[in-house]
Amino acid sequence: MIRTILIVYVLIIIATVSILGFRGDKTRKEPLYLFPDMDRQSKFHPQGENPFYDNKMDDRLPVINTIPRGNELELAVVFSEDYSAEDLLNVELQTGRDAAGEWATDFPIDVTRDVIEMGKVKYDIFCAVCHGLAGNGQSVVTSKGLPAANLLLQNFIDQPHGEIYNTIAYGKNLMGAYGDKLSPEERWAVVLYVRALQRANQGTMEDVPDGMKRELGI
Ligand code: HEC
């Protein structure tokens, strides 16, 4: 009786070790596929190689006048009659870098009062909690001890527009990304508003229009 129990015990140990013991081991051998389903099929991989195309890459730009699935585009805009793929293929608008791969130093959107005001609305919603309504880094969050950059400092004034755009889209160091909350146009509008805050902070008496000086009694 004891012998039988011992033998069964040893067999169970051998079975357990041989089934579970090698889990996670790496091997270059093809695994045994009982039901292959569609596990192995030719397909494009992110950043994969592809001898078929001239540039030998799997990654493709969207075909003109088509809309890639699974992006943050507004469906109502994408399927509207006057939609064109131009915006989607505008590298500077999407990435903040110019054709040479350098940070953009101009704005790929129309700079109008409406856009600046839209930028203010978005800034006040998404950025002010940390960077403060004035952009000076004085905010609810910083008052609790979390550091957030003072956007009015000279080094941020000197940053190209595209670099700030990139920080908004992808985040930087401690700061999270806002690319999923703000469309490319909205990110640029926020960059524009940050510029407005920086300019306002450098304002002098010269900037006050004459009519207003009288009004303010100065
Ligand atoms: C949750 C807090 C938080 C929010 C919200 C936030 N930021 Fe930041 N931001 C930070 C922190 C923290 C840093 C400093 C990052 C570091 O260098 O570690 C920073 C840094 C920056 C910088 C400087 C990056 C650099 O080059 O060093 C810019 C520009 C900036 N934020 C813009 C924005 C804008 C525009 C928004 C709104 C879309 C925003 N931030 C929203 C926390 C925040």
Q: Where are the domains of the chain?
A: 50-89, 96-204
For residue 62, give the DSSP letter: P
Higher pLDDT, 171 or 34: 171
pLDDT confidence tier of residue 68, bands split at 50, 70 and 90: low
Separation CA 182–CA 137 (nearest Å): 21
Tokens of 115: 């856009």
pLDDT beyond 90 at 130: yes
Give residue 124 CA to ligand 1 midpoint distance, Å: 13
Are 73 and 67 a contacting pair, CB within 8 Å?
Answer: yes
Are 196 and 205 a contacting pair, CB within 8 Å?
Answer: no
pTM for this entry:
0.69
Q: Which residue's C-alpha comes closest to atom 3 of ligand 1?
A: 130
Comparing CA positions, the residue from 154, 153, 161, 155 lying closest to residue 136 is 153
Amino acid at 2: I
| Backbone dihedral angles phi then psi of residue 206, each to the nearest 5 degrees | -60, -30
Average pLDDT on 82-95 reads 78
Q: Where are the alpha helices (DSSP H) in 69-108?
A: 75-78, 86-89, 91-95
Higher pLDDT, 107 or 213: 107
Residues in the ligand 1 pocket, defined by CB under 6 Å: 126-127, 129-131, 141, 147-149, 151, 156, 164, 167-168, 172-175, 178, 190, 194
pLDDT (tens digit per residue) in 141-177: 999 998 899 999 999 999 999 999 999 999 999 999 9
Comparing CA positions, the residue from 133, 123, 211 lying closest to residue 164 is 123
* Per-residue confidence (pLDDT) for residue 19, from 0 to 100: 78
* Per-residue confidence (pLDDT) for residue 37, from 0 to 100: 83
DSSP conformation letters of 112-145 = -HHHHHHHHHHHHHHTHHHH-TTSSS-SHHHHTT
Residue 194 burial class via C-beta count within 10 angstroms: exposed 0-12, middle 13-18, buried 19 and up = buried
Q: Which residue's C-alpha comes closest to atom 15 of ligand 1?
A: 174
Q: Which residue's C-alpha comes closest to atom 13 of ligand 1?
A: 148
pLDDT beyond 80 at 214: yes
pLDDT confidence tier of residue 74, bands split at 50, 70 and 90: low
Give residue 106 CA to ligand 1 midpoint distance, Å: 21
Give residue 48 CA to ligand 1 midpoint distance, Å: 33
pLDDT confidence tier of residue 6, bands split at 50, 70 and 90: very high
Instruction: Report the residue among 125, 130, 164 best suited for mutation to probe ligand 1: largest number of ligand atoms under 8 A from its CB.
Output: 130
pLDDT confidence tier of residue 121, bands split at 50, 70 and 90: very high
Separation CA 145–CA 195 (nearest Å): 26
What number does CATH give the domain 96-204?
Answer: 1.10.760.10
* Per-residue confidence (pLDDT) for residue 213, from 0 to 100: 84
- The radius of gyration of the chain's CA atoms, rounded to the nearest angstrom, is 29
Are 30 and 40 a contacting pair, CB within 8 Å?
Answer: no
Give residue 184 CA to ligand 1 midpoint distance, Å: 17
User: Interhelix angle for 184-201 vs 113-126, to 10°?
Assistant: 90
